[in-house]
Chains A and B, each alone.
Chain A
Amino acid sequence: MDIADEQGHETPVLRQGRPSQLPSVLEKLPLPNVVLATTETVLNWARSRSTWPLTYGLACCAIEMMATGMPQHDMGRFGVELFRPSPRQADLMIVSGTVSLKMGPRLRRLWEQMAVPKWVIAMGDCATSGGEFWDSYHTVQGVDTIVPVDVYVPGCPPRPEALLDGVMRLREKIQKAGFYRPVELDGPSVEAIMGLAEEGGGES
């Protein structure tokens, strides 16, 4: 729906909002430079374009993540350039690398310290499923056993383009999400993650 004023100038309206929720009175306002949308659309639009990642690298994927932040690929074009050194200031956790059983509880704690809303990208094969360290004695077999993952980026390690594509997917996901969506905060406790190691390897 475009609104034309008396001089015939047309102002585009964001189309992501649900039209049924727009008040019909406002649609007919003959004002220039007016954008109509739901608060949900506007807030999700703002959130999806300023996801600040946590400064958190685990392995070789972290090198690719750094390359993605550098000028050649410039993740800052999409509002993802501000790597925050504190989980309190970060929205996005990019799990870039192998998660060992020792790192698992720490990762969970960092995720718990991040403010809601928050998102997780599992970058690379190790974070996705254990990857190369499948059936290893000391590797978490997929970071989704510890924290809820929004986007999986395959590759070993993924190229910066792949991570950028993951960021694009995350954008779409955020824009489709309800503003007041319930956030899945439950999950394995730190003690339960520690218990993964305590089930014990036997001797044959």
Chain B
Amino acid sequence: MRPLISVARRPTPDSRLVAAAEIVRGHLGPRLLSISYQAGDILCLEVDRSDLLATATFLRDAPELRFDFLSCVSGVDMVSHMLVVYHLHSLSNRLTAQLKVKADAREPVVDSVSAIWPTANWHEREAFDMLGIQFNGHPNLERLLLVEGFVGYPLRRNYQLPRRRWPHGRMVEEGGPVDERS
């Protein structure tokens, strides 16, 4: 009997991606914490942050992979931990992968990959700017977008807006402006 509700099947991963996954799995072995496919054409990898630099170098240099283009470094505040996501592309092998690394929620520290992919320099500065992720070995880890002297990391879930000086000397209490008429 056919099911009444048809479930959309996940697209089968591309054969080249499966082959790449096997190479990664064979090289990393137990150091690979998880591996999956997203939308059939993105290889999702997760490693411990102590293995990040070795993994990144392998992904860039292995001839079957050649992930030579880092398109984005994102920080995600997952409340229980901080997630750093690297989006990788191989222009020669036409592969896409995302590499995830978990870090501590309050004091996130991750090794910098800016020596491996120079484009990571500003991406990591932005993640530091917004989420306060410390990238060890970064050549110039300063705020990128926010004003110098800004206190706090505004994209963290527990960020609280400062008490604001209002026009003409009024102050805003937390939770909204004060209505002087009331």
Q: Which residue of B lies closest to A198 (CB)?
A: B149
Contact between A137 and B161, CB atoms less than 8 A apart: yes
Binds A, one of B17-25, B48-56, B163-171: B163-171
Q: Is B118 in the interface zone, CB < 8 Å from A?
A: no
Contact between A137 and B159, CB atoms less than 8 A apart: yes
Q: Contacts A141-B164, A145-B167, A202-B162 given; indicate if A197 touches B151 (C-beta within 8 A).
A: yes
Contact between B146 and A138, CB atoms less than 8 A apart: yes
- The interface size of chain B toward A, counting residues with CB under 8 Å, comes to 21
Q: Contacts A138-B146, A142-B167, A144-B167 given; indicate if A199 touches B151 (C-beta within 8 A).
A: yes
Q: Contacts A101-B147, A138-B154, A194-B149 given; indicate if A201 touches B159 (C-beta within 8 A).
A: yes
Contacts of A196 in B (CB 8 A): 164-165
In the bound complex, CA of A102 to CA of B129 (Å): 14
Number of A-B contacts (CB under 8 A): 63
B contact face: mostly helix, strand, loop, or mixed: loop
Q: How far is the CB of A130 from chain B (nearest CB, A)?
A: 10
Contacts of A203 in B (CB 8 A): 152, 156, 158-160
In the bound complex, CA of A168 to CA of B41 (Å): 58
Most chain B beta carbons < 10 A, residue from A144, A197, A199, A201: A201
Q: Contacts A194-B147, A198-B151 given; indicate if A204 touches B158 (C-beta within 8 A).
A: yes
Q: How far is the CB of A203 from chain B (nearest CB, A)?
A: 5
In the bound complex, CA of A138 to CA of B149 (Å): 12
A126-165 interface (Cβ within 8 A of B): 135, 137-138, 141-142, 144-145
Q: Is A200 in the interface zone, CB < 8 Å from B?
A: yes
Q: How far is the CB of B148 from chain A (nearest CB, A)?
A: 8
In the bound complex, CA of A189 to CA of B150 (Å): 18
Contacts of B167 in A (CB 8 A): 141-142, 144-145
Q: Which residue of B lies closest to A202 (CB)?
A: B160
The 5 closest A-B pairs by CB, nearest first: A201-B152, A200-B151, A137-B154, A102-B147, A199-B162
Chain B interface (Cβ within 8 Å of chain A)? 145-152, 154, 156, 158-167, 176
